[in-house]
Amino acid sequence: MSSYTITPVAYARSPFREKFAIPRQPGLAPSVRTRIELTPPFDDPCALEGLNDITHIWLLFLFHQVGSRNDSLRVRPPRLGGNEKTGVFSTRSTHRPNGIGQSLVKVESVEGSCLWVSGADLLDGTPIIDIKPFVPYADIPVNAGNRMAPAAPEWLEVIWTEATETEAREQGQRLRENVMQIVTECLQQDPRPAYQKHDESRVYGVRLWDLQVRWRYPTPDSIQLVSISEASDDTLPDA
Write the pLDDT tens digit of every residue in 59-82. 999 998 876 666 778 888 877 777
Q: What is the mean pLDDT of residues 6-13?
A: 97
What is the pLDDT at residue 188?
96
The share of the chain scoring above pLDDT 90, in percent, equals 70
What is the pLDDT at residue 234?
52
Span of 17-26, 45-54, 176-185 with lowest mean pLDDT: 17-26
d(CA 179, CA 114): 23
- Give pLDDT tens digits for 49-58: 999 999 999 9
For each of the domains in the chain, give its residue range(s) and CATH number, in order of start.
10-139 (2.40.30.70), 157-230 (3.30.2310.20)
- Give pLDDT tens digits for 130-182: 999 999 999 999 988 888 888 888 899 999 999 999 999 999 999 999 999 99
- Give pLDDT tens digits for 220-235: 999 999 999 998 765 4
- Give pLDDT tens digits for 208-217: 999 999 999 9
pTM for the whole structure: 0.89
47-52 LR contacts (CB < 8 Å, sep 24+): 47/113, 48/110, 48/113, 48/115, 51/107, 51/110, 51/115, 51/133, 52/107, 52/110
